[in-house]
Structure 1
Amino acid sequence: MYTYAQLLNKTLEVLEDKGSMEAYQFISKYADQVKGNRAQIYNFQYCLAASSGQEHEALQLMEEAIIQNGFWYAYDYLMSDEDLKPLHPHKQFQKLTQLCQERENQAKAEQKPELKVLSHVDTQRPLIMAIHGDQENSSMTELHWQSVIQDGVTLALPQSSQIEFSNAYNWDNKDKGTREILEHYEFLISKNEISSNQVILGGFSAGCGVGLNAVLTESMPVTGLILVAPWFPDLKEWQHLLSKLKDQQTKVYVICGEQDVDCLEGTNQFVELLKLNGVNHTYKLISGLDHEYPEHFEDLLSEGVEFILNN
């Protein structure tokens, strides 16, 4: 059994090693067995089907996703993706893309930041605000972080206002995302009178970047950071600010996979900067792990919370 991230990552491996037909057959075999964004899985399926010459099947999958399930995809993406070019002459494709454009316009007109809070918030309970990665949502984050609730921690799950396609949000506008995280933080602190020394900021991938940006550039005080597969394309911008973490006695718990080709280099550089700035931190480098949550993440999460709150 694969997790959602494992299924997508493995599909890309099969695509590179064996081609689009094998990749399409692989993801289709496990598509209904994972918890995650089904709209994204459909996207993988119909793109791979189209690129392997199965135009009729690709159109059937698109219709199933868009008509039967009510999903939508960005119009510009559908029209520019090379895999989908063979579908352009089909009237069915034109109809589906037009419908997606209408849904996209409506979704973007209504988009707004959201915050889901699990468990009762009070001054006696630590609070973790966990931020989703790009093309994810708060429900996907909840699946991985919800174990903290049984340890007496309140879990808050921000969701970006920047929607990319059905149930998939990103942090492409970093400044906008930073403002949203800060507003959520201020709301939670003021409404519930929580002390900043009881607040941990967590995140996955791009969620780590927007969260760290809020802490460093907006001086948002937290007692610790739990960063999973952190994606730091703007690391150079923060180098002169990382001393703030030491000054504020903010502890940092970092998790990254040895096979994470997108984030490992940046994570290693970040950890070296933590060392240079004397920041109290722990780094968990996970053997064999790609860009995803590690198995038994709940154990590492519990360890991270203990390190930040009790050491």
Structure 2
Amino acid sequence: MCGNNMSAPLPAIVPAARQATAAVIFLHGLGDSGHGWADGLAGIRIPHVKYICPHAPTMPVTLNMRLPMPSWFDIHDQYHNAKEDEAGIKRASDNIKALIDQEVKNGIPSNRIILGGFSQGGALSLYTALTTQQQLAGVVALSCWLPLRNSFPQASANCANKDMPVFQCHGVADPLVPFAFGSQTAEMMKALMNPANITFKPYPGLDHSSCPEEMMDIKRFIEKQLPPLGNE
């Protein structure tokens, strides 16, 4: 599932407490793994929802002196107008679309799946949601940006998610992905999609991390977008 790295471990999974009728696929940030976010999501779990936290493949990252680390795609610089790894971003996005397809084969329709992520993972979740023909239930994008933004709106011409709800969160004190990046991304999302469905929430004092308030806001978003089915 993770490109050419055949040894990448299987995703960290928080199973539903009963039969899973919905799923959240959540992508970690640069240098991390799915395990930490699986633990965090377990703390806000909803009984009928399965949480899937895949691990990025290990690759040399230009931003960090080409040191190998878990990364969804290469990052050249942290500046907003930096060169981007277009081929890597598209390859990673295709891998996430394949993961969504696998959950559909497992019996969970795509419109009962929320895609989300933190930092680089949030960036990939936004790009994937805007370029897929799979209809999703929503996106949770934390402390991130929209990759390959100059390829839009053409890149999203066949997107099935123009009316999809997006919950975007960003720490006002973020030193790694500046708050202005998140704010600009939210405005671009409003231009590309139904602006009424784009929510951008700032968290004063929060740096490049998450906090309990944010996690509870995420839980409320998931509960709203993935309600129990009638027979649950």
What's the TM-score bracket when you normalise by the shorter of the two chains? 0.7 to 0.9
Tell me the secondary structure at the aligned position of residue 93 of structure 2: helix
Q: Contact conserved, 1:158 with 1:184, CA < 8 A, in 2?
A: no
Aligned partner of 1:19 in structure 2 is none
CA RMSD of aligned residues (A): 3.0
Q: Tell me, which stretches of 5 or more residues in structure 2 are unaligned?
A: 62-66, 74-87, 228-232
Amino acid at match of 1:171: W
Tell me the secondary structure at the aligned position of residue 182 of structure 1: helix
Question: Is 1:169 matched with 2:70?
Answer: yes
Structure 2 Cα separation of the partners of residues 122 and 180 of structure 1: 28
> 1 or 2, which has the higher strand percentage?
2
Q: Contact conserved, 2:125 with 2:141, CA < 8 A, in 1?
A: no
Question: Is 1:254 matched with 2:171?
Answer: no
Between the two proteins, what is the percent identity of the paired residues? 19
Q: Contact conserved, 1:111 with 1:163, CA < 8 A, in 2?
A: no
Question: Is 1:227 matched with 2:141?
Answer: yes
Structure 2 Cα separation of the partners of residues 142 and 163 of structure 1: 22
Deviation at 1:202, TM superposition (A): 1.0
Amino acid at match of 1:117: I
Amino acid at match of 1:270: T
Aligned partner of 2:85 in structure 1 is none
Tell me the secondary structure at the aligned position of residue 212 of structure 2: coil
Structure 1 Cα separation of the partners of residues 107 and 68 of structure 2: 32
Aligned partner of 1:301 in structure 2 is 218
Amino acid at match of 1:287: P
Aligned partner of 1:193 in structure 2 is 107
1:41-190 equivalence runs, <5 A: 111-112=7-8, 114-120=10-16, 125-163=21-59, 168-172=69-73, 173-190=88-105
Structure 1 Cα separation of the partners of residues 15 and 96 of structure 2: 19
Deviation at 1:123, TM superposition (A): 7.3
Structure 2 Cα separation of the partners of residues 109 and 225 of structure 1: 26
Structure 2 Cα separation of the partners of residues 246 and 189 of structure 1: 16
Deviation at 1:157, TM superposition (A): 1.0
Q: Tell me how many residue pairs correspond in the alignment.
A: 202
Deviation at 1:168, TM superposition (A): 4.4
Amino acid at match of 2:201: K
Deviation at 1:229, TM superposition (A): 0.6
When structure 1 is superposed on structure 2, of 207-216 and 115-124 the one drifting more is 115-124
Structure 1 Cα separation of the partners of residues 151 and 18 of structure 2: 35
TM-score normalized by the length of structure 2: 0.74
> 1 or 2, which has the higher helix percentage?
1
Amino acid at match of 1:135: G
- Which structure has the larger Rg? 1
Structure 1 Cα separation of the partners of residues 215 and 155 of structure 2: 30
- Residues 273 and 231 of structure 1, relative CA distance in 2, 3 Å threshold: closer
Tell me the secondary structure at the aligned position of residue 209 of structure 2: coil
- Residues 289 and 198 of structure 1, relative CA distance in 2, 3 Å threshold: same
TM-score normalized by the length of structure 1: 0.57
Structure 2 Cα separation of the partners of residues 167 and 150 of structure 1: 35
Considering Cα pairs closer than 8 Å and 6+ residues apart, tell me whether 1 or 2 has the greater RCO.
Answer: 2
When structure 1 is superposed on structure 2, of 150-159 and 132-141 the one drifting more is 150-159
Q: Contact conserved, 2:27 with 2:118, CA < 8 A, in 1?
A: yes
Aligned partner of 1:278 in structure 2 is 194
Q: Contact conserved, 2:16 with 2:48, CA < 8 A, in 1?
A: no
Tell me the secondary structure at the aligned position of residue 218 of structure 2: helix
- Residues 243 and 268 of structure 1, relative CA distance in 2, 3 Å threshold: farther
